Structure 1
Amino acid sequence: WNRIIVEKPFGRDLQSSEELTSHLSSLFTEDQIYRIDHYLGKEMVQNLMVLRFGNRIFGPIWNRDSVACVVLTFKEPFG
């Protein structure tokens, strides 16, 4: 399974947003693309480790035998 999460806003303006949408569509199907609000995803990302190791139901399926790779990339201008 491949999935991508893109936080709003998408791009700097309408043109760059459309370019991003077009590029993502060439790499992923629509059901693989998740568009979320930055603030709504913040708590879940911060709690991934707690969710994984604090919940026995995920142990058998969230492990090296079932998950090949997890990549979290944060690209934000700071300062």
Structure 2
Amino acid sequence: MTSRTERILIIDADEQAREDLSRYLESKGFYVTGRAKLTEALTLSDDELPDVIFADLPPETIQKVSEELEADGHFVPLVA
């Protein structure tokens, strides 16, 4: 049996908030990637897709990201 570390993507322009949340989640055993901007986050390849996304983005942007991921056949929960 192999174990896999869950991947979390944090999108937040506030560097301190992003780093604090990243540090906390990493201490709990998660693999965390942080990005300041949505455009930076969208450059992730399919192999780098997270299991969940924490994002400080406007609701309409969250909806758009969710629709784009779903259109590509990916289901990634978004927490705003």
Larger radius of gyration: 1
Which TM-score applies when normalising by structure 1? 0.43
Give 1 or 2: higher strand fraction: 2
Q: Which of 1 and 2 has higher RCO (CA within 8 Å, sep 6+)? A: 2
Which TM-score applies when normalising by structure 2? 0.43
